[in-house]
Structure formats: C-alpha cells, structure tokens
Structure 1
Amino acid sequence: MNNEVKATSAEINSQELRLKGFKVYEVGTSVNPVPSYSRRDFYKIGLFTGEVTIHYADRAIAMSGTTLLFTNPHVPYSTELHSATMTGYSCLFTEEFIKAGDRSDSLQHSPLFKIGGTPVFSLTAEQAAYITGIYQKMLAEQRTDYVFKNDLIRTYIQLLIHEALRMQPAENFFQPKNASSRIASLFLELLERLFPVESPEQVLPLKTAQDFANRLSVHVNHLNRAVKEVTGKPTTALIADRIISEAKALLHHTNWDVAAIGYGLGFDSASYFNSFFKKHTGNTPLAFRRAV
C-alpha cells in the first residue's frame, strides 16, 4: 500500500508559518488537507507510528512501530506508507525561530540535521510515550495566549533534540534498487524547489552540478551519470534550461531591470547573464523583453 501522509489539523498556511516560525500538528492518513508549506523554509521533527519506508537523499530506510524523524529543509525526502494507518505528530520550525537570541552553530551542523547524517530513530514504548507527551504539550501551548509561549515551545523543541541525541540512530539504510532513478528524481525536485525567484535579493543558492551533488550528499560523477541515464540530458543542461525558463518568466512578468534578474539567478555581472541568455536563446535579455 502506498498512501500519502496528511494532516488532521486545520489547513497549514505557509504565510502563517513564515510569520510565526513554527507549527505543531497531528498527523493522519485519511483527513485533508495536506500541509501546504515550502519545505526548503522549515526544519521538521516528526513522530509517527506505522510501517513506512523513508527516502532521504539517495538512501532509504524501512521502519515499523514508532519512529522519530529529523529532516533538513535542504535535503529532499519522502515517506512511503505500507500500513493501513499512520498516526503521530509533526513540528515545523525555522532556524530563526529555534535560535532566537542564540549565537551557536547552525542547525545544519547538528548530528540530527546535517547532510549525510542519520536522522531516523526507532523508539521503544517508553520513549514513544515520553516524546508523545512533549508534542501534546506543544499542541496545548500553541493554542494559548501566554506571552512567553514561543520561549516555551523552543524549550520543548530543544528537549526533543536532546532526547534524540541520547538515543542510538537507526542504521538500516539501504540503497534503493532503482538508485539512478531515485537520485535523478531528487535532483529534479531540488532544482524545482529553487524557483520561483520572488525578489532580486533571493540569489540562487545552487548553480552547478557540484553544488547539487554536495547538497544531495553524492559524488558529482554519480549524480551526472544518474541524471543522464534517466533524462538523457547532462545535469548542467537541465540546470541551464531551468534558469533560462525562469529568466524568461521574470523578463516577461516583472519590471526588474536585467541586472537585477541576472543577480537573482546567480550571475555576478549583467554581462555574464547577457552572454548566458544569448547563448541559450539567440537573443539578449533586453531584446527578449521587448519582443514579448
């Protein structure tokens, strides 16, 4: 069975998440709506009970019983459900929320969230009961008007993190049989997440095949082979095609100047952007804008 995990809470609004920096909700498999948030913006700690395969970067892990999962917003993941039901809780939060007033290292350096880490824990009945209690306290606190509510929820999240650090992570990750397809799919999903560019100041964080390979924790040659095998195109060509597509949309639908568009798309200079655009379209950005 292959079901989609859905939230039992009211619709999770992405703008609300951005404003508050956190959201806690119950998880089920049969009640709409699916949480609508941009995964690249939020860290997630999930507690769920059921039989699942968790796909994280190019690895997979089969779990049953109650599982605690930590996800980095920069690493694509998905949960494939094999049992009839799946229940639990999820907590979404930004790094800015959890580290308010804290100058310690980024969460991306944490053993639980770092790229290449093992973010999955199989819980005993006692551990599951304790972690469930923390989520229930967060849910209750989320509904209050307590002036220091955010501080208290931050404490609960930190408690989840510290409890996990004391546990032994699950190590039964395996390479899926269709590894090339999986890696190519992760690359394409990650590429699509970079768009749309919503402001000239939103510079693309990933621009080269090596950038994507680093983010996905695979060797760049492995990524290139998988992408070419599945799509028939080189990784660099797919990246270029997507950047050109976004450039055309920005030239057509915004009044940003050409230099600002180029900067937002990761080009250090307007002349470099002009050359890149002309190479792939036959026109300069300004000529394309005038023609549409």
Structure 2
Amino acid sequence: MENANFESNSLFELYKHLNLPVNLIDTAEGFSIFNLKEIGFELPYRSTPYRPNFFSFLFIKDGAGNYTIDDYSFEVKPNSVYFTNPSNYRTFCWEKIEEIYLITFDEVFLKKHINKEVFETFPFLLTETVKPKIVTDEFYEIIERIYLQILAEYTGTYHYKYKIIGHLLAVLFYKIKEYFWQDYNPIYEGNRSSQIVKSFKQLLEKHYRDLSSNKIDTVFRVQDYANAQNLHPNYLSNVIKSKTGKPIATWIAEKTISEAKALLQNTSISIKEITFKLGFSEAAHFSNYFKKHTKTTPAQYRKDVSESR
C-alpha cells in the first residue's frame, strides 16, 4: 500500500487510507464508537504504519491481536482494555474479532464536552506507551455497561447526544482512572526520556491554558520549553522527535491550531480577541498561520462549523 507511515487526524481518515468501510463513523464531532466486528476485517488483518492525531480505547471482550508501537509489541486478549494517544507510529493486527469495541475522540471533543482542564483531571491521557491491561470480569461488566450506553447515545438522534456522551465518557475515565491509575504520576514513566516528554506535554498544555485565560501573553519558543527542564534546546528537540515521532515545532503548531479551533467553535469572542489569546500580535498573522495549517481562514472555519450545526 502506498503512503506508508500515514498521519491521520481522525479515524475516518485512517480507515479511508486503509481502504476500510467508514459508514459507521460520524465525522461531526471528532468522536466514534462501534464494534470492530461490524467493519468486516478480512482476518488476519495487519495495518500499514500510521500515526494518529486522536485518542482511542479498545475494549476487547472476545478477540485477539496485537499492537506495535516503536520497538514495543503488545498482545491483546479477551477481557483487556487498551488505550493509545496521539504519539508514535504504530501498526495493529487482528487475528480474531467477535466483540471488540473501539472508542476514538480528539482533543477538541474532550475540551468541548468534558472540560478544558481534562488533562489535569485525567493525567493518564498524557501517557506515552501503555500496555493492554486484562481486567476482572466484575470490572469489565462495569465498563461494558458504560460504553454500551455511550453507543446507544451515539446511534441515537438526540440534539444533545454529544453532551450526554461527554458526561458518560467522563464517567468511563473516572472508572478507568480508579482501577488503573489512581496514583499515576505522569512525570515518571520509567526512564529519563519519558519524563522529558511528559514534562513537555504538561508544560505545553498549561502554557496554552494560561494564554487562553489571559494569564500570560507570550508564546513560548523551543528555548523556553528547554529552559523549563534545564535542557539544551537541541537535546529537547531530539528527545521529543525520537520518542514521539513529531518535531517539537509540530507539537506546538498542532496545539495552537487545536486551541484556535476550540475557541472558534465554542465561544463567540472575536477573531481579534482569539488572536491575542493565542499570543499573536496581529489578526492577519493569526489568520495566515491558521490557513497554513488548515487550508481555511479562521472566519471561514467558524462559518462552516456554525452552518453544520
């Protein structure tokens, strides 16, 4: 297949690239849920390498396969839960699919339908590499009830269905946090490189939250992120690139665009005010930056979102 090492901003993009059916995926809100059995994979199935720009949970009640991220390969078995976030390139392989539910969501969805401090409430979302975890029958029954309720809302036609899904997803996060990550410290993940990545992600999140709340008005440079960890900027850049597969400038650009989209979608403040909230000195500069990364202007993006609702 062409275009190996594909980067996808959504599951819809990924499945189209892999020539898989996309009829079960609603592209409206950056969220999806379904049983993989309904996709109709020709088993055994192995994907080409890809890097997602979205989060995902797999709930494997009856199925088997494996995921590979960098040099790590993880086997998934019945009664297991597997979480991935936007990070490194990976592949997946399925040998058996009977009842495997996949939930995907992006950062804009999380902040719109859960809360803007979602990464503080659920710090495990910033983990780098997580092994699938086999859970007890009792716990699986608990989370199964929740994700099946999410599915029922997803396939419904209620006006507020995504708000309801956001609340249910938060409940699911709390259950998973209590079961797996009650004492999780996102700074420490076993080696120095992982600590650097986690610290960078946390500082990136905090910095843009401070920009959005007008606590600060200056965009950080790579040097500023390096200074925060007493590192040489070249070393920080190398660690981020080697551990995540993305240059640090890409992380900063994606975060800026994500925050811009959230503000354009979910607030009525002017584009000029958004310009200053994100640390740009002029609206024209912000507009050009946004168009460079999205192929549309902030005004057109806001108009398109408004008309689609």
Relative contact order: is structure 1 or structure 2 higher (C-alpha 8 Å, sep ≥ 6)?
Answer: 1
Question: What TM-score results when the alignment is normalised by the length of structure 2?
Answer: 0.46
